[in-house]
């Protein structure tokens, strides 16, 4: 990897609800080094920025004392018109903070801030399951349900950088109350949190979505049914998105996508039944292919582009 | 208008379920002449093409014997990957036909075929209520519910030219059967047809959405409630679209938008309650401003662009 100039390297942060990952990424998409730690749920913005800066120094050192030219920070947030962060249901103390300014101060780098699911979409479009697609939708099934959209070969950020919140499409108008304030959002039926909640409502004793999956694998019908229901709701949302956006591919990632074989048939059938025949036949619905890396890779890609455009 | 060169003129067709309109449009957006007739529901593709060609000759003659350089044809259809038309619920005999080839043969012009609601979005974005918007959504409330999307300042056609079918977003998973094969599509709650159907289900004796509107105006509570319910469902769909696309503006047009004052409050309240605060605060939701003309103007705009790009 010695052929990478410092000018060809950025740091990338993927700040998840459970873990925070930092990587040194080349402009060709190589990951030269990584550092990772558990996300401190209760941390304030300043404490978090100091922690990220330490992870960045560690990764840059591990990559061979390189000097990356910027930091792309993917965070589970929406953004306000003034650039401060809006809602972060999974990191509540960051809400309203100037996390971008703090990260720049602590790392000494130019910082590009973006939504984590949007970064994941950019990553899968760069090097993963959506590579080469003109129009793609990425849905991330994790603690929540995130989304990102590629249109005309480019990430669609929207007017406020909030676009792609597919987890907050309504799939059941009078359904379960959502943390966003609405009801019946896809997130309430297809996230890991939702799977656990519904399993408990069915009387199952579980603490993670993986527990529910394991029960289904051991033949528990109630657990199996939950994934069919999750697939059905995903299919309702995807069917609508096929009609509205007519994409080439829908990519499903995140930890809960591990249950693919359990929810895919119901999801595909429902999406096909709901969508017009042309987009339903054309659009592929596939699993993400970059494992834990789409977030850092996408954050790096977006940061390289911003620097090349002179906008960072 | 004598200053328009023939090279600056196109013909545009807006083929609606009720009326078909043709206009001669300049590259500056002036309408030089129009011709219009009732749409023959039972016509085959060849018969329809002959009728369109006659309207085109009439309009070109009325505009001063001009020679337009192309025809932009906006039709209520989806498209197949091979360019033939897919579904046309309101003009069933056209399904699967080579309407583009027939129009070219009968008019002797290059023909650009597009979805009618997509054309309306392009028209409102060119000269109407979405002018200047980077990201805009247009919803057309007519016999059905159509939609068109502007992203990054450009019309989003999607992989098959089918994008923008907002009328077929699901707003009630087990709701009313839709002609598209799905259930609970927005079209089943917010189109003129839906308003009439629901009014009759409520025991009202009506034949058009206008009748329902007039009843509401005379104080009929059941009729008034139908528009509140229509607004609520529109708000559910719009709230989801705000979260997914984060647009600057949502434009509502079509004949049923005449009931604006009756459905706007419920629609706005529901969309705001459903969407994240940033896009909900930023996005305007406004009425279309081009009357009956967004379709022909947008068809013309798209045709001028295709010719300029050398793609027509």
Residue B245 dihedral angles phi and psi, to the nearest 5°: -110, -20
Nearest by CB to A159, which of B87, B243, B246?
A: B246
Chain A residue closest in CA terms to B77 = A276
> Is A159 touching B (CB cutoff 8 A)?
yes
Instruction: Tell me the per-residue pLDDT of A246-281, one tens digit each, with 9 for 90 and over.
Output: 999 999 999 999 999 999 999 999 999 999 988 999
Does A125 fall in a domain? no
Best to test chain B binding among A80, A134, A151, A170 (most B CBs inside 10 Å): A170
Q: Taking CB atoms and an 8 Å cutoff, what residues of chain B touch A162?
A: 243, 246, 276, 278-279
Contacts of A229 in chain B (CB under 8 A): none
- Is A246 at the interface with chain B, CB within 8 A? yes
Cβ contact, residue pair B278, A170, below 8 Å: no
A126: in domain: no
Instruction: In whole angstroms, give the CA distance from residue B205 to residue B196.
Output: 9
Percent of residues, chain B, with pLDDT higher than 70: 97
Chain B segment 20-49 residues within 8 A of A by beta carbon are none
> Which of B81, B182, B274 is the closest to A182 by Cβ?
B274
CB contact under 8 A, B170 and A239: yes
pLDDT in tens, B259-295: 999 999 999 999 999 999 889 998 999 999 999 999 9
In a domain, B56, yes or no: yes
Question: Does the pLDDT of residue B3 top 70, yes or no?
Answer: no
Judge if A135 and A275 occupy the same domain. yes
A15 and A138 share one domain:
no
- Residue A162 to residue B283, Cβ atoms within 8 A: no
Q: Which residues of B touch A274 (CB under 8 A)?
A: 168, 170, 182
- A118 to chain B, closest Cα gap in Å: 11
Its ipTM equals 0.90
- Note the maximum CA span of chain A: 57
CB distance from B2 to chain A under 8 Å? no
Q: Are residues B107 and B240 in the same domain?
A: no
* Domain co-membership, B179 together with B274: yes
Is the per-residue pLDDT at A3 higher than 60?
Answer: no
Residue B99 sits at the vertex; the CA angle it makes with B104 and B67, to the nearest 5 degrees, is 25
Closest of B45, B115, B47 to residue B80, by C-alpha: B115
Q: State whether A137 and A270 are in the same domain.
A: yes
What pLDDT does B160 receive?
81
Same domain, A36 and A139: no
Decide if A260 touches B, using CB distance below 8 A: no
Please answer yes or no on whether A276 and B168 come within 8 Å at the CB atom. yes
Q: Is residue B190 part of a domain?
A: yes
Q: Does B254 fall in a domain? A: yes
Tokens of B150: 């502007």
The partner residue sitting opposite A79, judged by closest CB among B152, B239, B278, is B278
Question: Average pLDDT in the A33-38 region?
Answer: 96
Closest in B159, B169, B279 to A135, CB measured: B159
Looking at the complex, does the CB of residue A243 fall below 8 Å from at least one CB of chain B?
Answer: yes
- Give the 3-state secondary structure of residue B182: coil
The string of DSSP letters for A128-149 reads STTTT-SSEEEEEESSSEEEEE
- pLDDT at res. B4: 56
Residue A28 CB-density burial (10 A; 0-12 exposed, 13-18 middle, 19+ buried) = exposed
Q: Touching check for A197 and chain B: CB below 8 Å?
A: no
Same domain, B83 and B213: no
Residues A196, A275 within the same domain: yes
Please check whether residue A132 touches B, CB under 8 A. no
Q: What would the mean pLDDT of A56-60 be, rounded to a whole number?
A: 97
* pLDDT tens-digit series, residues B176-218: 999 889 999 999 999 999 999 999 999 999 999 999 999 999 9
Confidence of residue B5 (pLDDT cuts 50, 70, 90): low
Domain hosting B206: range is 131-287
Tell me the shortest Cα–Cα distance from B67 to chain A, in angstroms. Answer: 34
Are A246 and B81 an interchain contact pair (Cβ–Cβ within 8 Å)?
Answer: no
Chain B residues 84-113 within an 8 A CB cutoff of chain A: 86-87
B74 contact A CB<8A: no
Strands (DSSP E) contained in B173-248 are none
In this prediction, residues A172-192 reach a mean pLDDT of 95
Q: What is the mean pLDDT of residues A124-134?
A: 97
* DSSP annotation of A61: H
For residue B96, what pLDDT is reported?
A: 85
| CA–CA gap between residue B152 and residue B161 (Å, rounded) | 17
pLDDT of residue B275: 96
Lowest model confidence (mean pLDDT) among A83-87, A165-169, B193-197: A83-87
Instruction: Determine, for residues A161 and B246 on separate chains, whether the beta-carbon distance falls below 8 Å.
Output: yes
Once rounded to an integer, what is the mean pLDDT over residues A125-148?
A: 96
Instruction: Kindly state whether residue A37 falls inside one of the protein's structural domains.
Output: yes
Q: Residue B102 above 50 pLDDT?
A: yes
Does the distance separating the beta carbons of B182 and A275 come in below 8 Å?
A: yes
B189 and B264: one domain? yes
Answer for the pair B161, B202: CB distance below 8 angstroms, yes or no. no
Q: Which residue of B has its CA nearest to A273?
A: B182
- In the predicted model, is pLDDT for residue A2 greater than 60? no
Residue of B nearest to A279 (CA): B160
Q: Report yes or no: A19 and A36 within 8 Å, Cβ to Cβ.
A: yes
| Same domain for B192 and B104 | no
**Looking at the 3D structure of chain B, how many domains does it have?**
2
Dihedral of CA A258/A259/A261/A266: which sign? Answer: negative
Chain B residues with CB under 8 Å of A165 CB are 243-244, 246, 276
Q: Which pLDDT belongs to residue B85?
A: 84
Is there a domain that residue A143 lies in?
Answer: yes
Question: What gap in Å lies between CA B185 and CA B236, rounded to an integer?
Answer: 11
Tokens read off for B244? 């997914």
Please state the pTM of the whole predicted model: 0.92
Q: HSE of B175 in the Cβ direction (CA atoms, 13 Å)? A: 24
* Mean pLDDT over the full length of chain B: 93
Residues forming beta bridges with residue B22, ordered by sequence position: B13, B35
Question: Could you tell me if residue B108 is left (phi over 0), alpha (psi between -120 and 50 degrees) or otherwise beta?
Answer: left
> Residues with Cβ < 8 Å from B243, sequence gap 6 or more?
A162, A165, A166, A168, A169, B274, B275, B276, B279
Least confident segment among A71-75, B160-164, B220-224: B160-164
Q: Residue B199's beta-bridge partner residues?
A: none
**Per-residue pLDDT tens digits for B62-94:** 999 999 999 999 998 887 767 778 877 778 888
Residue burial B93-114, b: 16+ Cβ < 10 Å; e: rest: ebbebbbbebbbebbebbbbbb
Mean pLDDT of A81-95: 78
Strand segments (E) across A153-243: 154-155
Residue A109 contacts residue A101 (beta carbons within 8 Å):
no
On chain A, the residues whose CB falls within 8 A of the CB of B170 are: 171, 236, 239-240, 274
Return mean pLDDT, chain A. 93
Q: Decide if A154 touches B, using CB distance below 8 A.
A: yes
In this structure, are A12 and A114 located in the same domain?
yes
Provide the token pair at B12.
Answer: 């545009």
Question: Do A201 and A118 meet the contact criterion of CB atoms below 8 Å apart?
Answer: no
Residue B311: per-residue pLDDT? 86
Say which range, A130-139, A276-285, B29-38, has the weakest mean pLDDT.
Answer: A276-285
Inter-chain touch B152–A147, beta carbons under 8 Å: no
CATH number at residue A22: 3.30.420.40
Region A164-176 average pLDDT: 96
Question: Does A175 lie at the interface with B, CB-CB under 8 angstroms?
Answer: no
Contacts of B5 (CB under 8 A, 6+ apart): none
The helix/strand/coil state of B148 is: strand
**Do B57 and B143 sit in the same domain of this protein?**
no
Residue A243 lies in a domain: yes
B157–chain A Cβ distance below 8 A for any pair: yes
> Which residue in chain A is spatially nearest to B273 when comparing CA positions?
A182
């Amino acid at each position: 990897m010695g052929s990478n100039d410092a000018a060809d390297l950025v740091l990338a942060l993927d700040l998840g609800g459970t873990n925070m990952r930092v990587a040194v990424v080349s402009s060709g998409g190589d990951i030269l080094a990584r550092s990772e730690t558990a996300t401190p749920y209760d941390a304030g913005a300043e404490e978090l920025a100091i922690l990220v800066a330490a992870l960045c120094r560690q990764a840059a050192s591990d990559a061979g004392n390189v000097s990356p030219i910027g930091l792309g920070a993917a965070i589970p947030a929406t953004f306000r018109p003034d650039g401060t962060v809006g809602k972060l249901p999974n990191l509540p103390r960051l809400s309203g903070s100037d996390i971008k300014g703090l990260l720049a101060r602590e790392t000494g780098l130019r910082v590009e801030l973006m939504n984590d699911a949007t970064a994941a979409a950019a990553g899968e479009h760069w090097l993963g399951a959506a590579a080469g697609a003109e129009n793609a939708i990425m849905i991330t099934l994790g603690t929540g349900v995130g989304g990102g959209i590629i249109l005309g070969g480019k990430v669609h950020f929207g007017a406020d950088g909030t676009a792609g919140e597919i987890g907050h499409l309504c799939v059941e108008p009078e359904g379960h109350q959502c943390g966003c304030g609405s009801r019946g959002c896809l997130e309430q039926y297809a996230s890991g949190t939702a799977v656990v909640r519904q399993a408990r409502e069915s009387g199952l004793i579980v603490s993670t979505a993986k527990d529910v999956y394991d029960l289904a694998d051991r033949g528990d019908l109630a657990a199996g049914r939950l994934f069919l229901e999750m697939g059905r709701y995903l299919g309702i949302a995807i069917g609508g998105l096929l009609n509205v956006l007519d994409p080439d591919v829908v990519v499903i990632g995140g930890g809960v996508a591990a249950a693919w074989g359990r929810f895919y048939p119901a999801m595909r059938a429902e999406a096909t039944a709901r969508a017009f025949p042309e987009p339903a036949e054309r659009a592929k619905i596939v699993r993400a292919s970059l494992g834990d890396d789409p977030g850092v890779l996408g954050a790096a890609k977006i940061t390289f582009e911003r620097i090349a455009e002179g906008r960072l």
